[in-house]
Structures are given as C-alpha cells and as structure tokens.
Amino acid sequence: MTMHKPIAHPAPVSEPAALPRAVRADFQSVDDKDMLRAARDLTKDLGEAKGAIYWADMLGSTAIGYGGIATAILTDNLALALAAAVVASLALYRSLMFIHELTHIHRDALPGFRTGWNLLVGIPLLTPSFMYEGVHVIHHKRTQYGTIEDPEYLPLALMKPWSLPLFVIAGLLAPAALIVRFAVLVPLGALFPAVRRYTWERFSALSINPDFRRKTPEGSFAKRVLWQEVGASLWAIAVIASIFALGWRPFLIALAIVSITALLNQLRTLVAHLWENEGEPMTVTAQFLDSVNVPPPGIAAEIWAPVGLRYHALHHLMPSMPYHDLPEAHRRLARELGTGSTYEGANHPGMLVLVWRIARSTMMAR
C-alpha cells in the first residue's frame, strides 16, 4: 500500500486536527488521489447493509422514544416527566436519522425497511422519506455540492452573525410548521393545484437553501410520495383533533419533545460542514475537507450525531457505506494515512469547537 505523504502544518490548539484554510484551498481543483485510492482499497470487504442491525437499532430506538413520550404525558412526577422527555427526544432523534440511510442504501438491500420506517417513524414524526429521497443525492453530486443548486448547503461561515441563531431557531419551529404543511396545505392542495404546486416546490424537502425549488415527482417515486403524503396528512389532522378529545397537555408535551429532537438535528446540521464554500464546484477532496468527522475517543458525538453521522466527512468519501461499517472504515484509513494527512484534516474534537469556529468566521465576514 502506498503511504500518503503527510502535509506539514502547524495545528491550532483549539482545532488540533483541522488543516489550515490555505492548505485546504489547494484541494479546490486537485484531488488527493492517494487518499481516495486508500478509501477504495481499504474498505473493499465492507459495505453490506446488515438488516439485523438496522431493524434492531431502529425498532429499539423508536420503542424507547414513544415510551418516553407516553411516560412524560402520563406521569405527575415532574422530574420523571423531564427525564422521560430527554430520553424520548434522543431516542426519536436516532430513529429519525435513519432517513439519511434510506437515501443511500440500495432499494433492494433491506426489504421492507423503508416502508417500516415510514410507518413507524417518518409519518408519525411528519417527516416521511420522500422529503429526503431525491433531495439529499444532489448534495453528493460532484458538480453541485456547495453551489446554489445544492439544497443542503449555505455558506454559513461567510454570512452575518445573526444568521446562526436564526438558523437554529428555524429548526426548533420545524415540527409546528410540518403540522401546518400536512394538516392544512396538503388538503388545500388537493382542491387547488396552485397550492399543491407551491407546497411541493417550497415545502417538500429537508433543505436549508431558501433558493431551492423541488421538481415534480415522476414514476414510481410519485406513487411513494402519494401514500406517504396522504398518511402524514391524515396523521397531522388526527393530532390536531386529539386536542379536542384529550386536551392540550398531551399535544404540547409531544410537540415539545419532537421540537427538541428537531433542534438537535439543526445543531448537528450546523456543524456537519465548515460552510466555507462560496458557490464554486469543488473536488471530492475539497468536499471532504469542508465536511466534518468527530471520531472517538469522545462519546458525546454518538449522541448528537447518531447513526454514523459523526463520520460525516468519511460519508462524503463513501456515500453508500452503511453506518455500522463507518467506524471500521475510519480506523483503517486513520491508521494507514497517519497523523498530518489530508484525511486527518477533516477530524474535529467536538460540537462546541465547531460552533465557535463558524461563529468566529461570521464575525469576520464582510
């Protein structure tokens, strides 16, 4: 195996693994072929999605999440209710993150998993898989990542400081907005084609780019959209109707729990990339270095970036790698490429350091 030649550079104390921006800029037009070759050669025996792991993880997380919601609603003990709410938020967050896996695994790899996830998680949380399928793949396209065409990219590090709290608050309000989308806009869209068209273009994708407009679904995907959207609409209407039957308390507790889940996801999204691209196409290596790994030994990242998302930069090198194989793939690449390598340049110590890095960059933006 050809060893990758380390890049000599001083490492800041607060960001021990990150390559300086000037070094990362060198890869804007030229790939690190040694790293790409190593990623291919060292992981040939990995990549098979294991159904037992997927089902057990998703079902267990979902059961804990719904059990936590029920406990928080039914108990009169405030401490127990708060503890149950925290557990529910974290468990449902993990369940929800399987939507990311659904966009990358082969459609025949896990029979029934997509349908099961939608019935148990996607529709009840008003985030069916169609809101990510066909959207997230654009984010991984070689010529579209980080450009105006990327639905999941904003140059947050180059924007004004007020954009960061606004970005986080938007995530907190997402569950309430989804209730309106499915309970109000979908029925209206069935009556008025203009509303249907507007809803689909503007409010049917888990995107952060306000300029993104979604194209009309076609073929078999359009059929999946139909049943998922009808199911989510009926569920949203039932949730609103439950207020009249059960009162406000269950609704508000469940909404608060799901809102915390959405907030966690928004915070994770905030630190999933460095957000330093100004709209130009990037090489695979540049995309990798603009993305973030938060590898062990810390365990906190496994909570706020579950289902393999703590290896987000590695995921951009190997998008189809199942989440349960990413830790082993990371170990092999880190061992082979070594300290000071391009690969290590995407490793970061944790969320707080990343948030501070982006916040500091916004304060320096013109």
Report the distance separating Cα 141 and Cα 284, nearest Å: 9
Cis link prior to 20 (omega < 30° from 0)? Answer: no
pLDDT tens figures, 202-239: 999 999 999 999 999 999 999 999 999 999 999 999 99
In a domain, 259, yes or no: yes
The answer on pLDDT for 24 being more than 60 is no
Residue 223 shares a structural domain with residue 144 = yes
Least confident of 29-38, 126-135, 183-192, 221-230: 29-38
**Model confidence pLDDT, tens digit, residues 48-61:** 999 999 999 999 99
- Helices 248-270 and 78-96 pack at an angle, to 10 degrees, of 50
Q: What percent of the chain has pLDDT over 90?
A: 83
pLDDT for the residue numbered 298: 84
Residue 41 and residue 169 in one domain: no
- Residue entry with tokens 């089902």: 55
- pLDDT at 32 (0 to 100): 86
Q: Is residue 1 part of a domain?
A: no
DSSP 324: G
pLDDT of residue 84: 98
Q: Region 68-93: what's the mean pLDDT?
A: 98
Q: Of the candidates 219, 235, 270, which is a domain's last residue?
A: 270
Phi, psi of 311 (to 5 degrees): -110, 45
- For residues 239 and 248, what is the distance between their CA atoms, to the nearest angstrom? 11
CA gap 153, 210 in Å, rounded:
10
Joined tokens for residue 38: 């190593």
Q: Are 155 and 275 spatial neighbours (Cβ–Cβ below 8 Å)?
A: yes
Q: Are residues 260 and 303 in the same domain?
A: no
* Residue 356 located in a structural domain: no
- Whether residue 277 lies inside any domain: the answer is no
Per-residue HEC secondary structure of 158-219 comes to: HCCCCHHHHHHHHHHCHHHHHHHHHHHHHHHHHHCHHHHHHHHHHHCCCCCCCCCCCCCCCH
**Is there a domain that residue 8 lies in?**
no
* Domain residue limits at 30: 21-45+282-351
- How far is residue 275's CA from residue 195's CA, in Å, rounded to a whole number? 33
What is the C-alpha end-to-end distance of the chain, expressed in Å?
Answer: 45
For 48-67, give one letter per residue: b (16+ CB within 10 A) or e. Answer: ebeeeebeebbeebbebbbe
Structural domain includes residue 204: yes
Q: How many domains, in total, are found in the chain?
A: 2
Q: What angle do CA 245, 173, 113 make, to 5 degrees?
A: 75
- pLDDT confidence band for 280 (50 / 70 / 90): confident
| pLDDT of res. 26 | 61
Asked if residue 4 is part of any domain, the answer here is no
pLDDT averaged over every residue in the chain: 90
Mean pLDDT of 330-346: 93
- For residues 31 and 61, state if they share a domain: no
Is there a single domain that holds both residue 263 and residue 331? no
Q: Tell me if 218 is assigned to some domain.
A: yes
pLDDT at 14: 39
| 209 & 306 share domain | no
Both 228 and 300 in one domain: the answer is: no
The Cα 22–Cα 13 span in angstroms is: 17
Asked if pLDDT for residue 13 goes beyond 70, the answer is: no
Taking a C-beta distance cutoff of 8 angstroms, is the pair 125, 92 a contact?
Answer: yes
- Is 59 in the same domain as 204? yes
Q: Of 215, 243, 270, which residue constitutes the final position of a domain?
A: 270
> Tens digits of per-residue pLDDT, 152-207?
999 999 999 999 999 999 999 999 999 999 999 999 999 999 999 999 999 999 99
Look at residue 25 in the predicted model and tell me its pLDDT: 58
What token pair was written down for 23?
A: 């070094």
User: Which residues face 293 on adjacent strands?
Assistant: 311, 347
Q: 125 and 191: one domain?
A: yes
Per-residue pLDDT at 28 = 64
Do 172 and 228 have their domain in common?
A: yes
Q: Are residues 225 and 76 in the same domain?
A: yes
- Assess whether 287 and 316 both reside in one domain: yes
Output the six-digit token pair for 36: 């790409």
Instruction: Report yes or no: 304 and 295 within 8 Å, Cβ to Cβ.
Output: no
Rounded to 10 deg, the angle between the 33-41 and 326-337 helix axes is 130
Q: CB of 336 within 8 A of CB of 1?
A: yes
- Using the 3D structure, point to which of 270, 292, 319 is the last residue of a domain: 270
